[in-house]
Amino acid sequence: MGKIFSVLAALVMVGSTPAWCDSIGMGERFPEVSLPVPVQAGAREYLGLPAGDTFTLSQVKGEVVLVEMLNVLCPHCRKQTKPYNRLFQRLQEDPELRDKIKILGVAVANSAEQIADFVDIYAVSFPIAADRSFALHQAVRGGPTPLSIYVLQDPAGGPGMVAGSTLGEDDQMEQLLAYLVELTGMQLADFEGLAEPVVTPAPALPISRAELERRIRAALERYAGEVVALKSFPDADLYQADVVRQGRREKLYARAVSRSAICDICHDVHFFYIFNRQGEVVGFEPIHLTKYGNVEWSSVEVDGFVQRILGRSLLEPWNFDPQVDAVTSATMTSAIIFNSLEQDRQLLERLAPVGE
């Protein structure tokens, strides 16, 4: 237990995210999510990866891996590159540590082109893999970035053990280095049983349920003209409407979405959209959507974004292209919306009529 007490003391000094926070915590296994191999020169060799286009963290050679969840547009992530570059250089210059402790950046919702620009502009020394579809970000229950996760690797090649995390900027590199070095002397068994119960509540809607239903009904009326009935599914984020459109009765569905922001200084994302039984998106309404400076989208920006998504199907891929699909200065928010629609293809399987 002495080692655990020592590590816990180090976590306090480093400024770690408490174990009861929403993101993945101490004592949990790191998810086995495939990521594309970073394209930076020497990345494969540095990480010790086998041949192939993708990898999981368990394949990274080393005893401890600092996983930096970031977004290239996040101001605090940009600032974090300087101290982590220093830490990377310090580790590389130490023959005792260079093979034991590795640093890996994971860019959430960013393309390879965006990452390449980020690496060039901020002279990033450590490799960065793309998590364009939010797969790893969601697997670690990530919210805002930057989020640093310290992983003790499994010598047997299985998933590593999370040994702590830090949310937000961290410039205390001497303390962090001492902590990472101490972890190299730990075993996975030292952290077994420390995981707290997983609680992952979605961000709360900024409006009441009654106001949400009023807005959904108004949007349906604009689209169809007459709403005969509006009922909610048991989980209350999905609604079914009977409408009369062009003299014909049909069923439409409305889905309210609340997602955490990626950047730690950005507002959360709230909207709803309307679709038919075939999965075609026929309506979109912001509840609270912001861009740089946490300024709300204008009506012109909303209208332009709506034109990008209306008529598309939940069954098709929603590959986000920031050059085409993003509202100006709202790239991260736009990416979250596209990702939400990508994930909602499963909704069509839940659409047995309610209340009948």
In a domain, 271, yes or no: yes
Task: Give mean pLDDT, residues 292-318.
Answer: 95
- The predicted pLDDT at position 353 comes to 60
Same domain, 178 and 222: no
Contact 63, 156 (CB under 8 A): no
- The predicted pLDDT at position 235 comes to 74
Spell 161-189 as b/e; 16+ CB within 10 A means b. Answer: bbbbbbbebbeebebbbebbbbbeebebe
Instruction: Note the pTM of the prediction, 2 decimals.
Output: 0.88
In a domain, 124, yes or no: yes
pLDDT, one tens digit per residue, over 183-220 is 999 999 999 989 887 766 778 999 999 999 999 999 99
Contact 134, 339 (CB under 8 A): yes
Q: Is the pLDDT of residue 2 over 60?
A: no
- The predicted pLDDT at position 18 comes to 40
Same domain, 74 and 134: yes
pLDDT, one tens digit per residue, over 6-40 is 555 455 445 454 433 478 999 999 999 999 999 89
pLDDT, one tens digit per residue, over 50-100 is 999 999 999 999 999 999 999 999 999 999 999 999 999 999 999 999 999
Same domain, 150 and 294: no
- The predicted pLDDT at position 19 comes to 37
In a domain, 202, yes or no: no
Same domain, 173 and 273: no
Residue 272 sits at φ, ψ, to 5 deg, of -135, 155
Spell 295-326 as b/e; 16+ CB within 10 A means b. Answer: eebeeebbeebeebbeeebbeeebebebeebb
Same domain, 186 and 238: no
- The predicted pLDDT at position 159 comes to 98
Closest CA to 26 of 165, 160, 141, 138: 165
**Top-confidence residue, 236 or 129:** 129
Query: What whole-number percentage of the chain has pLDDT above 70?
Result: 92
DSSP string, 246-303: TTEEEEEEEEEEEE--SBTTSPPEEEEEEEETT-BEEEEEEEE-EEGGGEEPPHHHHH
28: DSSP letter? P
Secondary structure of residue 182 in the 3-state scheme: helix
- DSSP strand E in the chain: where? 35-36, 54-55, 64-70, 101-108, 128-131, 147-152, 161-167, 226-232, 238-245, 248-259, 269-276, 281-288, 290-291, 295-296
Residue 83 sits at φ, ψ, to 5 deg, of -65, -35
Token pair of 323, please? 């050059």
Same domain, 80 and 11: yes
Same domain, 129 and 163: yes
29: DSSP letter? B
2: Cβ–Cβ under 8 A, 6 or more apart, which residues?
Answer: none
In a domain, 201, yes or no: no
Is residue 1 very low, low, confident or very high in pLDDT (cuts 50, 70, 90)?
very low
Side-chain half-sphere CA neighbours of 245 within 13 A: 13
Task: Give mean pLDDT, residues 166-182.
Answer: 96
Same domain, 96 and 169: yes
- The predicted pLDDT at position 5 comes to 44
In a domain, 248, yes or no: yes
Side-chain half-sphere CA neighbours of 94 within 13 A: 15
- The predicted pLDDT at position 11 comes to 52
In a domain, 196, yes or no: no
Same domain, 178 and 247: no
Task: Check which CATH number belongs to the domain holding 102 and give it.
Answer: 3.40.30.10
Same domain, 117 and 150: yes
Q: Is the pLDDT of residue 356 over 60?
A: no
User: Domain tally for the chain?
Assistant: 2
- The predicted pLDDT at position 4 comes to 52
Q: Is the pLDDT of residue 268 over 80?
A: yes
In a domain, 56, yes or no: yes
Domain housing 263: 209-350
Same domain, 243 and 214: yes
- The alpha carbon torsion through 48, 52, 54, 58 (nearest 10 deg) reads -40
In a domain, 355, yes or no: no
Same domain, 9 and 146: yes
Q: Is the pLDDT of residue 325 over 60?
A: yes
